[in-house]
Amino acid sequence: MATTINGAIYELLTTARDLPGLVGMRIYPERLPQKGLVYPAIVYHKGGGVRSYSNDGDSGFNRALYQFDVWADTLELAAQVAQTLRLVLSGFRGDGLGISIQGIFCDGEEEGWDDEREKYFVSLDFTVLHNEPNQIEAP
């Protein structure tokens, strides 16, 4: 079971009904592999966020900003995977992943061609509202 928001997102994506059928397990946090990459693939990373505090300190509530990049040989395939990704994430709420997620919301998207990779991409930006445990047990 996931214990971090990154792990919860990975678990959500890899266990979604339709997404693994399009990309298999080619869902990568932070960066794409340098060698042997098969397309289509998804890479995602946390681009920032805001923690909430109260008079007692860190409340455990976070507003995280994530970017998901879908890479494919054709723009049509990249758009199809991005649409499926959006359907999986947008509006998701739940705490069955070890982290309490209050909501995931799509904030924007962009598509294009990357000259260096010679691949098409669709980038999706999401806000993820979630609670993390705010107590660390002493060893």
Residue 31 confidence (pLDDT) above 70: yes
Please report the pLDDT score of residue 137 as a whole number. Answer: 45
Residue 56 confidence (pLDDT) above 70: yes
Please report the pLDDT score of residue 90 as a whole number. Answer: 96
- What is the model's pTM? 0.88
The residue-averaged pLDDT of 77-106 equals 92
Please report the pLDDT score of residue 57 as a whole number. Answer: 79
d(CA 133, CA 107): 26
Half-sphere exposure of 43 (CA within 13 A, CB side): 12
- Hey, which of 1-15, 24-38, 92-106 has the most confident mean pLDDT? 24-38
Q: Which CATH architecture has domain 5-68+81-131?
A: 2-Layer Sandwich (3.30)
Please report the pLDDT score of residue 85 as a whole number. Answer: 98
DSSP 72-124: ESSHHHHHHHHHHHHHHHTT--BSTTSSEEEEEEEEEEEEEEETTTTEEEEEE
Task: Please state the domain extents for the chain.
Answer: 5-68+81-131
